[in-house]
Amino acid sequence: MNKVTPLEKLTVKDYASDQEVRWCPGCGDYSIVRAMQKTLADLQSSPEKTVFISGIGCAARFPYYMATYGFHTIHGRAAAIATGTKLANPDLDIWVISGDGDSLSIGGNHLMHVLRRNVDLQYILFNNEIYGLTKGQYSPTSKIGTRSPSTPMGSLDSPLSATLFALGCGARFVARGIDTQPKYLPEVFKRAQAHKGASFVEVFQNCIVYNDGVFDNFTAKDVAADRQIQVEHGRPLIFGKEQNKGLRLKAGKIELEVITIDENGTTEEDVLLHDETNKILATLLAQMEGPNFPVAIGVLYCDPSDTYEDAVHAQLTAAKKENPSPNVNDLLRSGTTWTVV
């Protein structure tokens, strides 16, 4: 198995396991695993305290490629299993790796509860809008009309927005990244890791075999600058090749609009500043989609609150303080007892 010498500075390579990666050539997952290895190297994360827990799907193979602790579990249940692991040992730094089917179909219930409980872990959802490992069926995030083996005439049901779902569940940290941004993605992961509580990150990930190019409308090089906005707390919400487009609230409405700076009398002053502690703004940003709006990338929302495992352990501490040396024999003899001679 992999040996790590903790005294030396760990490099990206030190976080890669010796296992041969088995994703399809050209899969977006390759760049995400590299971004993760870079993240851990940048953070100098302790390999023994870092745990990757995954469900089932292409993304779920991820833990095998990390030279940390890893648990590849069952479909949809990674969040529940990770909750138990974190409760049992709060010192562990847990990353849950999941996909859109794993998280939002079979595992929707567990994702909802891990977010509302605010268990301190990072939940990374690889969204490729398709079931890859089962050969290409449409997923809960697929657009209406997606043709797939199970929907040859086009899918009929409305897709789910992962980030709006997370915000609705009460997540205190919601962010987005893109597989093809090897420099920016680690920055998003680092923010997620730094946030104490459940950190939800949706990564748009291209499935080269079953859904190739599904995000091209905002990730392709020629359109990216105009169709994406990288949001940053306290900074104006500006985007575009010329950096001359901005977001502002429509007068008299709780609604965003895109303006072109220096046109029709608008200035940079008119552009809204990003406030990542504002849930309403985060919701408006998460809702944006093309072609009229850019897709928001980065930390949409971050507003820390108490974590579940801290509260659980506080109760344990209080109970132990009240009864510092409990004894099984005393427990068995509690209540009414009598002696037969």
Partner 1 sequence: MEGSIAVTVEGAIREQVEDVVVRFAGDSGDGVQITGGQFTLTTALAGNDLSTFPDFPAEIRAPQGTTFGVSAFQIHFGSREIRTAGDAPDVLVALNPAALKVNLADLSKGGLIIVDSGSFTERNLKKAGYDDNPIEGDSVDGFRLITADITKNTLEAVQEFGLSQKEAVRCKNMYALGLVYWLYSRERAPTTSWLKEKFGKRPEIANANIAAVNAGHAFGETIEASGETSSYEVLPAAIEPGLYRTITGIEAISYGLVAGAQKAELRMTFAGYPITPASAILHTLSKLKQFDIITFQAEDEIAAVGAALGASYAGTLGVTASSGPGIALKTETIGLAISVELPLIVINVQRAGPSTGLPTKTEQSDLYQAVLGRNADSSLVVISASTPADNFEVAIEAVRLATKYMTPVMILTDGYLANASEPWIIPDADKIPKFPVNFLSDETEFSPVKRDPVTLARNWPIPGTPNLEHRIGGIEKSYDTGNISYDAANHQKMTDVRKNKIDNIANDIPEQKVARGDDTGEIAVVGWGSTFGPITRAVQKIRADGYKVSHIHLRHIWPLPINLGSLLNNFKKIIVAEMNTGQLITILRSEYLVDAQGLNKISGQPFKVSEVEEAIRKSMGN
Q: Which positions touch partner 1 (CB under 8 A)?
A: 1-4, 6, 17, 19, 47-49, 51, 53, 63-64, 66-74, 77, 80-89, 91-92, 109-110, 112-113, 312, 315-316, 319-320, 322-324, 326-329, 331-333, 335-341
Comparison of 55 and 236: residue with beta carbon closer to partner 1: 55
The neighbouring-strand residues paired with 121 are: 198
Give CA angle at 24 (23, 27), nearest 5°: 85
Q: Is 115 helix (H, G, I), strand (E, B) or coil?
A: helix
The neighbouring-strand residues paired with 77 are: none
Q: Are the C-beta atoms of 49 and 17 separated by less than 8 Å?
A: no
Q: Are the C-beta atoms of 304 and 197 separated by less than 8 Å?
A: yes
Q: How far is the CB of 302 from partner 1 (least distance, A)?
A: 25
What is the Cα–Cα distance from 204 to 256, expressed in whole angstroms? 23
Q: Are the C-beta atoms of 135 and 94 separated by less than 8 Å?
A: no
Q: How far is the CB of 17 from partner 1 (least distance, A)?
A: 7
Comparison of 150 and 323: residue with beta carbon closer to partner 1: 323
Q: Are the C-beta atoms of 269 and 238 separated by less than 8 Å?
A: no
Comparison of 3 and 183: residue with beta carbon closer to partner 1: 3
What is the Cα–Cα distance from 125 to 59, expressed in whole angstroms? 8
Q: How far is the CB of 157 from partner 1 (least distance, A)?
A: 23
Q: How far is the CB of 19 from partner 1 (least distance, A)?
A: 6
Comparison of 82 and 229: residue with beta carbon closer to partner 1: 82
Q: Which two tokens stand for residue 19?
A: 């296992």
Q: How far is the CB of 60 from partner 1 (least distance, A)?
A: 9
Comparison of 48 and 157: residue with beta carbon closer to partner 1: 48
